[in-house]
């Protein structure tokens, strides 16, 4: 019996890239190197993705926000937003970059082969330096010249063998508002590089929606946080224990009276030992209530799943992360299906993961639809570049994919091993193996074509990654020690004392 043929593309000439953050920039750069015609669509006015900083914030989403489509609908918000302003903010919403944001992956690990960091760059830099690096990379590789700025991609559909990309651009009028101009272009392949820090995940905690409705300015998702202004002498609840929550705790810790960081004790939690002195780690919040006192400053009471209730909370910041969102590919959505019931042609169910992707890159039923930047728990910039190089190798006809049945079998094995949800895309402890596999696959194709091999991860990079791995191991050990120290109904004695002391103050 003859084996199914390998999948090879020799008919791709024109490729669309959605997004001009780092994943879109490296994708465009490698596609250009492969000799393909490329157009990048970016809804903002500049390159940079989540590293673009502005004092503005997006239009508020609804509470709770459990479906990605909810994040694109203006359902509430304090302060009237005029039509022109509303359209502008919905067209290109400000991202989550706050004033004190810095890289949490050292710059030696965040370097691409396309552009070196300037000599003497420290390991940790502020957000303007990261944005400058991305923009310089885009300029050096010619990506800026092929980018349509202010272009909001609204629909991507395939007709026969071609992809139609529809996008909208805002055209300002003479003070009467703004008009939307619809455009379209035809392509042979698509690279989705729109990131996954747009649609906030806001949990359905009893009392949270009611508190937000009554006191909208005092509750926000971390996407709307910019700086510690307004937190002086306040008691603040942070919901979530990851990197952004810990960053915000450090920022507001300089002026807040007391901070409570509520967590579920998940794998992404930072150790409580890195929190400021005026912060206390508490259990997951099961409910939020409003005290009898009325008025704009009436405090909240929070009710953890373990330990005593805590009154006197002035502000709440929800640091519970984001959901995947693909509003321009609705034909691949099945929002009514559970993730476990996703069909073989479904990309999107509940926003917790994307389905039917080979190595987080190639849509298995049609690998001319590709993704760069889906993987999580990685060093980001270099990982995205290797994914981009893999996309370019396949779309240019250099590398070949296995038959669809083989890709399907490998995907199902991955789901069985990792489970569904965000961890399906996790490369924690797997990044080097994953990249080595991509490089070997690309180089097999390059060898067939008589091309020099693509270089993989360098020895310097691997040594730096090992140093970081050891640092993370120490953090995990600290977190494990904190858990082991929990007493009295699972609550740390230190935490219990902190709560009791706070109650005495009220």
- pLDDT of 460 strictly over 50: yes
pLDDT tens for 92-142 read 999 999 999 999 999 999 999 999 999 999 999 999 999 999 999 999 999
Exposure string for 64-96, b = 16+ CB within 10 A, e = fewer: bbebbebbeeeeebeeeeeeeebbbbbbbbbbb
pLDDT recorded at residue 109: 97
pLDDT at 366 over 50: yes
Q: Which pLDDT band holds residue 389 (cuts at 50, 70, 90)?
A: very high
Q: What average pLDDT does the structure give for the chain?
A: 91
169-178, 236-245, 311-320, 402-411: the lowest-pLDDT one: 169-178
The pTM assigned to this predicted structure is: 0.91
pLDDT band at 486; cut points 50, 70, 90 = low
Q: Tell whether the model's pLDDT for residue 495 goes beyond 50.
A: no
Q: What is the mean pLDDT of residues 30-56?
A: 98
Q: C-alpha distances in angstroms, 287 versus 114, 200, 314? A: 49, 20, 15
User: Element (H or E) spanning 236, and its range?
Assistant: strand 235-239
pLDDT at residue number 493? 42
pLDDT 10s digits, 341-359: 999 999 999 999 999 999 9
Nearest partner of 65 among 54, 55, 56, 76, judged by Cα? 76
In this model, does residue 70 exceed pLDDT 70? no
Per-residue pLDDT at 188 exceeds 70: yes
Q: What are phi and psi of 17, to 5 degrees?
A: -115, 125
Sequence length of the chain is 506
Alpha helices in 53-184 (DSSP H): 83-91, 127-141
Domain 202-320 CATH class label: alpha beta
- Rounded to the nearest 10 degrees, the angle between the axes of helix 431-448 and helix 381-395 is 30
CATH number of 14-199+324-449: 3.50.50.60
Kindly indicate the confidence band of residue 502, based on its pLDDT and cuts at 50, 70 and 90. very low
Give yes or no for residue 205 having a pLDDT over 60: yes
Per-residue pLDDT, 74 = 38
pLDDT at position 415 over 70: yes
Q: Is the model's pLDDT at 76 over the cut of 70?
A: no
Query: What pLDDT band is residue 422 in, cutting at 50, 70 and 90?
Result: very high
The percentage of residues in the chain with a pLDDT greater than 90, rounded to a whole number, is: 79
Arithmetic mean of pLDDT, 167-177: 72
The per-residue pLDDT for 506 is: 28
Assign 36 a pLDDT band (cuts: 50, 70, 90): very high
Task: Give pLDDT, residue 184.
Answer: 97
Closest by CA to 237, choosing from 320, 322, 314, 294, is: 314
Q: Does the pLDDT of residue 489 top 50, yes or no? A: no
How confident is residue 87, by pLDDT bands cut at 50, 70 and 90? confident
**DSSP class per residue in 241-309:** -SHHHHHHHHHHTTT-SEEEEE----TTPPPGGGS-TTEEEEPPEEEEEE-S--STTPPEEEEESSS--
Provide mean pLDDT across the span 169-180.
68
Contact status, residue 367 vs residue 394, Cβ threshold 8 Å: yes
In this prediction, what percent of the chain has a pLDDT beyond 70?
A: 90
pLDDT of residue 178: 64
Can you give the pLDDT at residue 185?
Answer: 98
Segment 211-219 shows an average pLDDT of 96
Task: Please give the structure tokens belonging to residue 449.
Answer: 């074509």
- Quick one: average pLDDT of 220-233? 98
- φ, ψ dihedrals at 410, nearest 5°: -65, -40
pLDDT beyond 50 at 75: no
Measured CA to CA, the distance from residue 376 to residue 173 in angstroms comes to 42
User: What pLDDT sits at residue 308?
Assistant: 95
Peptide bond into 64 cis (omega under 30): yes
Judging by beta carbons within 10 Å of its beta carbon (0-12, 13-18, 19+), is residue 365 exposed, middle or buried?
Answer: middle
Give the pLDDT confidence score for residue 1 in this predicted structure.
47
Q: What's the pLDDT at 86?
A: 84
Q: Which residues are within 8 A (CB) of 262 and not within 5 positions of it... i.e. 6 or more apart?
A: 237, 238, 239, 240, 241, 282, 283, 284, 285, 302, 304
| Whether the Cβ atoms of residue 41 and residue 154 lie closer than 8 Å to each other | no
Residue 480 has pLDDT above 80, yes or no: no
């Amino acid at each position: 019996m003859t084996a199914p043929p390998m999948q090879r593309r020799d008919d791709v000439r024109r490729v669309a890239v959605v997004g001009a953050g780092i994943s879109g920039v490296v994708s465009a750069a490698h596609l250009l190197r492969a000799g393909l015609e490329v157009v990048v669509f970016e809804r903002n006015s500049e390159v940079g993705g989540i590293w673009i900083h502005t004092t503005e914030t997006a239009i508020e989403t609804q509470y709770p926000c459990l479906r990605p489509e909810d994040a694109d609908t203006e359902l509430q918000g304090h302060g009237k937003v005029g039509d022109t302003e509303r359209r502008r903010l919905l067209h290109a919403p400000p991202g989550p970059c706050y004033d004190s944001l810095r890289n949490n992956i050292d710059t030696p690990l965040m370097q691409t082969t396309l552009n070196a960091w300037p000599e003497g760059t420290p390991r940790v830099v502020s957000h303007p330096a990261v944005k400058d690096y991305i923009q310089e990379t885009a300029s050096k590789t010619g990506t800026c010249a092929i980018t349509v700025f202010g272009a909001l991609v609204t629909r991507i559909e395939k007709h026969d063998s071609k992809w139609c990309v529809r996008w909208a651009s805002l055209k300002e009028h003479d003070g009467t508002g703004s008009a939307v101009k619809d455009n379209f272009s035809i392509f042979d392949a698509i690279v989705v590089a729109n990131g996954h820090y747009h649609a906030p995940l806001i949990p359905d905690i009893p009392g949270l929606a009611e508190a937000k409705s009554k006191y909208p300015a005092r509750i926000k998702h971390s996407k709307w946080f910019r700086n510690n202004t307004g937190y002086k002498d306040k008691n603040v609840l942070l919901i979530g224990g990851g990197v952004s929550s810990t960053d915000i705790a450090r920022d507001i810790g300089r002026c807040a009276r007391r901070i409570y960081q509520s967590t579920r004790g998940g794998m992404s939690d930072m150790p409580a030992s890195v929190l400021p002195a005026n912060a206390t780690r508490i259990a997951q919040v099961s409910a939020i209530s409003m005290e009898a006192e009325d008025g704009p400053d009436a405090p909240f009471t929070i009710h953890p799943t373990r330990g005593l209730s805590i009154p006197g909370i002035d502000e709440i910041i929800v640091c519970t992360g984001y959901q995947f969102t693909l509003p321009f590919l609705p034909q691949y959505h099945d929002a009514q299906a559970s993730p476990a019931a996703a069909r073989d042609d479904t990309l999107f169910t509940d926003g917790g993961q994307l389905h039917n992707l080979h190595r987080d890159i190639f849509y298995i039923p049609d690998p001319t639809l590709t993704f760069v930047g889906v993987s999580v728990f990685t060093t980001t910039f270099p990982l995205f570049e290797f994914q981009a190089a893999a996309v370019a190798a396949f779309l240019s006809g250099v590398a070949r994919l296995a038959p669809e049945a083989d890709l399907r079998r490998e995907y199902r094995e991955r789901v069985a091993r990792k489970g569904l949800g965000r961890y399906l895309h996790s490369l924690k402890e797997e990044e080097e193996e994953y990249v080595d596999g991509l490089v070997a696959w690309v180089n097999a194709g390059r060898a067939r074509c008589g091309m020099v091999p693509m270089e993989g991860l360098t020895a310097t990079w691997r040594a730096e990654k090992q140093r970081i791995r050891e640092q993370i191991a120490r953090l995990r050990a600290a977190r494990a020690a904190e858990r082991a120290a929990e007493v009295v109904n699972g609550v740390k004695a230190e935490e219990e004392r902190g709560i009791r002391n706070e109650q005495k103050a009220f």
